[in-house]
Amino acid sequence: MTGPRYPALIKSLPSTVPFVGPEVQERQRGAPFRARLGANENIFGPSPFAVAAMQDEAADIWKYADPTHHELMAALAAHMGCGPGHIVIGEGIDTLLGYTVRLLVEPGDAVVTSDGAYPTFNFHVAGYGGVLHKVPFKDDKEDLEALMAKAAEVDAKLVYLSNPDNPMGTWHSGAAIKDALELLPEGTLLVLDEAYIEFAPHGTAPQIAADDPRVVRFRTFSKAYGMAGARVAYAVGARDLITAYDKIRNHFAMNRLAQTGALAALQDSEWLEQVLRLVEDAKQEITRIAGDCGLRTLPSATNFVAINCGRDGDFARSVLAALIADGVFVRMPFVAPQDRCIRVSAGRPEDLKILAEALPKALASAKSG
């Protein structure tokens, strides 16, 4: 008796996931976390109107969602100042990144990213046989010029850039990204991940026409709109590229409730503004807590703050482990020298009170070895 015959590529891949979820860690430690500050979720939650809309829609969950996402598509087109034909909607940015790689990358094709940038993109590239070429961060930012130079060197199909960046929270101006597009090699597509763009200063989003064939932009309802569990995101790009997604996307994958909730969330600008204020207050409090411990934070255009632990990655990992053991869920960058930091998501006052109590103890534990 034999099992399935896996392709050689699949056989070569490790059985892994890019992130270990907090629920897995809670089961491992045998207790829930006291403060959930690691996954960059919006703990302030979605618009009450979005919640009500999803509750109202629940009785119709027996129906499939509209596979064309007509109402949400029209609202997003108005929001982005483009036609509906420039938008594709999917189950979170992670899925849309996977569709993009599937659409454009063949085994052996070169793909460029930053060393230490969002690992889920790399996961998809490896799964379709692409060859990743990584460039280091520069001054804790993704290096625009180095990314474009590497793309030209290896004839890359795709270049991945997150702006603002995860895991450091840093950002480039929209003008700098627009200038960098002029360095993009012919036939290379810039994959611009703007998951955190609502938190960023004015001018961070580049003024790029939706029909520019050199770039595809990704945005989400997971962060500022507080709907990470709903898995709703969208991509904006040239019509030919967006139409091509219909060749490979799962047309009935979108959850009907999620689609309804996203539409209501998009229309509630007052709630979004309130969330942005709460996140800013939380980031200031995280910075204060770090400062009281003698630590510096990096400027952040996201809903999290990178705290420089002041030593190397091993020390930061010890701090992280001590926080986890004390019931405080945080994460950290994977690659040096960014791994000298831990990354703390914006939280409620009660969550940050726990952090303020736990961080000095974690630092003392790490220093004692």
pLDDT given for residue 16 in this prediction: 77
Residue-wise pLDDT tens digits, 65-114: 999 999 999 999 999 999 999 999 999 999 999 999 999 999 999 999 99
| Per-residue pLDDT tens digits for 31-59 | 999 999 999 999 999 999 999 999 999 99
213 and 291 together in one domain: no
The token pair that represents 227 in the structure block: 């709907």
Q: 1 in a domain, yes or no?
A: no
Decide if pLDDT at 152 tops 80: yes
d(CA 180, CA 296): 30
Whether residue 199 is contained in a domain is answered as: yes
CATH of the domain at 144: 3.40.640.10
Final residue of a domain: which of 242, 267, 292? 267
Considering the domain architecture, whether residues 115 and 211 belong to the same structural domain is answered as: yes
The residues, any chain, with a CB within 8 Å of residue 187's CB and separated by 6 or more, are 155, 157
- Quick check: 369 pLDDT over 90? no
Each residue of 101-149: pLDDT tens digit? Answer: 999 999 999 999 999 999 999 999 999 999 999 999 999 999 999 999 9
User: Which residues are CB-neighbours of 312 under 8 A, at least 6 positions away?
Assistant: 336, 339, 340
In a domain, 8, yes or no: no
Residues 197 and 103 in one domain: yes
Last residue of a domain, one of 209, 237, 267: 267
Q: In what order do the strands lie in the sheet with 158-162?
A: 87-90, 233-236, 215-220, 189-193, 158-162, 110-114, 131-135
Query: Is the peptide bond between 22 and the residue preceding it cis, with omega within 30 degrees of 0?
Result: no
Confirm if 162 and 193 have CB atoms less than 8 A apart: yes
Are both 241 and 353 inside the same structural domain?
no
CA–CA gap between residue 215 and residue 210 (Å, rounded): 9
In this structure, what token pair is assigned to residue 302?
A: 């996201």
How far out from the chain centre does Cα 186 lie? Answer: 27
Q: What is the pTM of this model?
A: 0.96
> What was the pLDDT predicted at 20?
86
Report pLDDT digits (tens) over 246-258: 999 999 999 999 9
Residue 233 DSSP class: E
Q: Say whether both 250 and 300 belong to one domain.
A: no
**CATH number of the domain within which 330 lies:** 3.90.1150.10
Burial class for 183, CB neighbours closer than 10 Å (0-12, 13-18, 19+): middle
| pLDDT tens per residue, range 205-246 | 999 999 999 999 999 999 999 999 999 999 999 999 999 999
- The pLDDT tens digits of the residues spanning 153-189 come to 999 999 999 999 999 999 999 999 999 999 999 999 9
